[in-house]
Amino acid sequence: MESEPSVSRGNTTMAMKDSFIVTGGAGFIGSNIVEALARAGCDDVVVVDELDSDIKRRNLDSLTFRDYLDKADFREAFLADKLARPATVIHMGACSSTTETDEEYLRDNNYMYTRRLCEWCLAGDARFIYASSAATYGDGSLGYSDEDEVTPTLQPLNFYGKSKQMFDVWALENGLLDRITGLKYFNVYGPREDHKGDMRSVVHKAYGQVLEAGELGLFKSYRPDYADGEQVRDFVYVADAVKETLFFHENRGISGIFNCGTGTARTWLDLARAVFAAMGREPNINFIEMPEALRERYQYHTQADLTKLRRAGYDKPFMSIEDGVRDYVRGWLAKQSA
């Protein structure tokens, strides 16, 4: 039997006849995944989302896909088993607000929805790839290892992180991590995040501040071991996050929970300076008070441990924040504001 024809675009190789459902496909990471699939020649893609804003609608305007389903209709249809299963479901649809306080909503939307969708995929041998989060690591005192023995011990700092942790632990306890893949996304930034409001990346917020006021405010540090602006994050450009995600479609035999970051921690000052440089301006940074409600739940250090990802065979390099921010600012944000 002849092998299925494939097409390669950049670093992504996909079978042309592969079929996908991408939930959250009008959102930030989801819409970039849809774009990458189209570039790879995969147009049998069903996008699932809630188009509750014109900005999210515009995210889909330039993308190629087969069909769109409203989230509520999709959830009702797969629960009733009235949908044909695709080769792969990439589940990016969730409430991603780290400040959301409605725990029952997060339990239903981020945990139960994911659990039922996972069960539906497994019942029909569809590949299931879902978004977990680096928020599951809490204050980082237990490290950032994605090994299975660490997962149940983690203590997230907010309800969002807890909702993601609930599904990770459920999948682990039910022996499903040899059949599904979860990705713990760290601080992702890049095109098509405009609709995210206060959950936009600091790159997006910083660009707007500098454009309007010529200066940028960063949170002060409230720990003596971190100077102002020296708090660190693992910043990952969305193009790299998409490559990491699609690696697990291309390699269906590799499953489990994996960190999705760069493995490099950089300071907020590094990021701020990269934004000013991309805009062709001299840095003008001041430090502002952090809201009291955030001070006890603030992560001062995140850095993805990529040991497990590299062991799985992912060997692609990652963009530095200087290169990623330059590409984002000049190739997207400047054009959007022109």
CA distance 229 to 225: 12
Mean pLDDT of the chain: 92
Residue 17: the pLDDT is 66
Tell me: the pLDDT tens digits for 23-44? 999 999 999 999 999 999 998 9
208 with 248, same domain?
A: no
pLDDT computed for residue 94 by the predictor: 87
Task: Dump the DSSP string for 31-66.
Answer: HHHHHHHHHTT---EEEEE---SHHHHHHHHT---S
Residue 314 within a domain = no
- Three-class SS of residue 322? helix
Q: Does 28 map to a domain?
A: yes
Domain stops at, among 263, 279, 311 = 263
Considering the domain architecture, whether residues 329 and 255 belong to the same structural domain is answered as no
Q: Is residue 5 part of a domain?
A: no
CATH number for position 72:
3.40.50.720
Tell me the mean pLDDT in the region 105-117.
Answer: 93
On whether residue 228 sits in a domain, the answer given is: yes
**Which structural domain range is residue 183 located in?**
17-189+236-263
Do 92 and 148 sit in the same domain of this protein?
Answer: yes
Across residues 308-313, what is the average pLDDT?
97
- Whether 27 is in a domain gets the answer yes
**Max avg pLDDT among 2-16, 57-71, 165-179, 290-304:** 165-179
104 shares a domain with 175: yes
Nearest CA to 301 among 209, 204, 187, 218? 187
- Whether 315 is covered by a domain: the verdict is no
**pLDDT at 272 > cutoff 70:** yes
> Domain of 271: which CATH number?
3.90.25
Are 178 and 219 found together in one domain? no
Sequence-separated (6 or more) residues with CB below 8 Å from residue 232? 265, 266, 267, 268, 300, 301, 302, 303
What's the mean pLDDT in 161-172? 96
pLDDT for the residue 16: 45
Total Cβ atoms within 10 A of residue 311: 10
Q: What is the pLDDT of residues 147-159, one digit of tens each?
A: 999 999 999 989 9
- pLDDT score at 308: 97
User: How far is Cα of residue 67 from the mean position of the Cα atoms in its chain?
Assistant: 22
Residues 137 and 286 in one domain: no
Q: Are residues 170 and 240 in the same domain?
A: yes
The answer as to whether 306 is a domain residue is no
80 and 34 within one domain: yes
* Bridge partners, residue 287, by sequence: 218
Asked if 64 and 146 sit in the same domain, the reply is yes
Asked if residue 60 belongs to a domain, the reply is yes
- Are 124 and 227 part of one and the same domain? no
**Mean pLDDT of all residues in 265-287:** 97
Are residue 203 and residue 66 in the same domain, yes or no? no
Instruction: Identify which of 182, 185, 189, 158 has the alpha carbon closest to the alpha carbon of residue 168.
Output: 182
State the pLDDT at residue 62. 85
Q: How many domains does the chain have?
A: 2
Catalytic machinery residues = 160, 196
Rounded Cα distance, 236 and 134, in Å: 12
Same domain, 106 and 44: yes
